[in-house]
Amino acid sequence: MKKLIVFISIAAVMASACSKVVSGSIENGNQISFQTVAGLNTKADFTGTAFPTTETFSTYAWAEGTIGEYFMDNVTIEYKTSEDMWKPQETFYWPKNTTVDFVSYYPTGLSGITVEKDKITYSGIDVNTIQKDIMYADKAAGFSDNPDLVDDSISGFTGVPTIFRHSLAKVKFIVELNYNHKEEADGTITDWEVMINSSNISGIYTTGGAVFNLSNTSPDAKGVIPWDKPAGNVWTPSGDVATINGNSNPSMTPGADFTAIDELYVLPQALTASQQKVTINLTIKTTRNGVPFLSETFDKVADLYIGTLPAWEINHVYSYRVKLSPTASNGNGGKPLDPSDPTGGVNPNDPDLSDAIISFDPAVDGWENVGVEAIIDL
């Protein structure tokens, strides 16, 4: 089974840099710091469970008992190398006699996101243009000081626990040529030269929005609280569908993987029969017993919707493996039209392409440990 890669994403918001402390609050003298963690099984830009210290993220925070007033208003958080700690670019202190709730997102400065106490809303996000790992953090609720946490019972850290989740999906297409040489029992030797002239996926929604809600809205809620994902674990698309172009390869080598379409972030979306497709334009040159026999150039198109894979879901990476298996091509599925004619009676300008075989072997394995395996025969 070809494994797919799993995903977790974060939400993003417009980056302004003002902050407001609740009137009448008293600081306890301790500076606020953060501990960042990328969600388990994270792939993509973030590997393992470490949030890169070269990146920044943004945070909103509310003090208990306030309505519509930020304690932190879209504040940028950065890694302070000298202190080995994540802190706001401007200093914030823990207020006294109250607790604070935090919601963080990545990347800093992403427009099209609104963060509220109990809701994160994305709208009009053009995923294909941005091509970044859009992530949101679990809500850290009811904190009054920097908690001391231990990682693997070895290394400790201090700060607001900030666990990021991927909100997008990822897709890539790998092409493999199973063979390019075959010797038949009757002594016939057939060789193929296989070229990928172009590749693309079409009918894809690239812009849309999503709402992540919070089931536990109790003012007494404390700790790290996960967000509820939208229905179907997909975003709501908007705008027109698009075509995304891939790569070409002048000469396929058996057993060597070729990335026809590079791994890219995609809008999590439901797949619809006859809409989302992959197209590969091929040229296959057949040589029989050392003599050029046939040259075929054609498109092979596959529907990306299948019953066992009805959607590209949030926090999943879909890796499609496209297997090319040429047969003893004579333009009629391997059967001569006229045995007395060395060419089989084939018109090279109008060949039957029924023997140019491509199969798809997509599989997915997500952080929810969901596995799907399917094959599309063309």
Tens of pLDDT, residues 256-272: 999 999 989 999 999 99
Highest-scoring range by mean pLDDT, 214-228, 244-258, 325-339: 244-258
Longest dimension (CA), the chain: 100
Query: How far apart, in whole angstroms, are the C-alpha atoms of residue 88 and residue 79?
Result: 9
Considering the domain architecture, whether residues 139 and 190 belong to the same structural domain is answered as no
**Cβ atoms of 349 and 331 closer than 8 Å:** no
Considering the domain architecture, whether residues 334 and 368 belong to the same structural domain is answered as yes
Considering the domain architecture, whether residues 178 and 162 belong to the same structural domain is answered as no
- Helix or strand or coil: residue 56? coil
Residue 212 lies in a domain: no
Tell whether pTM > 0.85: no
Residue 14 lies in a domain: no
Cβ neighbourhood burial of 259 (10 Å; 0-12, 13-18, 19+)? middle
Asked whether the bond before 107 is cis by omega within 30 degrees of 0, the reply is yes
Considering the domain architecture, whether residues 58 and 97 belong to the same structural domain is answered as yes
Considering the domain architecture, whether residues 97 and 199 belong to the same structural domain is answered as no
Total domain count for the chain? 2
Residue 34 lies in a domain: yes
Domain with 282 in it: 170-206+240-377
Q: What is the mean pLDDT of residues 219-245?
A: 93
Query: How far apart, in whole angstroms, are the C-alpha atoms of residue 144 and residue 353?
Result: 70
Considering the domain architecture, whether residues 185 and 158 belong to the same structural domain is answered as no
CB-side exposure of 265: number of CA atoms within 13 Å? 24
pLDDT confidence bin for 67, thresholds 50/70/90 = low
Helix (H) or strand (E) holding 205: strand 189-213
Say if residue 128's pLDDT is above 50. yes
**Cβ atoms of 368 and 226 closer than 8 Å:** no
Summarised one tens digit per residue, pLDDT across range 293-351 is 788 888 888 888 888 889 999 988 888 888 888 864 444 444 444 545 555 555 544 44
Q: What is the mean pLDDT of the chain?
A: 76
Considering the domain architecture, whether residues 319 and 176 belong to the same structural domain is answered as yes
Summarised one tens digit per residue, pLDDT across range 21-47 is 433 344 556 888 878 765 433 333 343
Considering the domain architecture, whether residues 180 and 325 belong to the same structural domain is answered as yes
Say if residue 1's pLDDT is above 80. no
pLDDT confidence bin for 287, thresholds 50/70/90 = confident
**Location of structure tokens 């140019």:** 356
Residue 217 lies in a domain: no
**Cβ atoms of 139 and 214 closer than 8 Å:** yes
Considering the domain architecture, whether residues 73 and 163 belong to the same structural domain is answered as yes
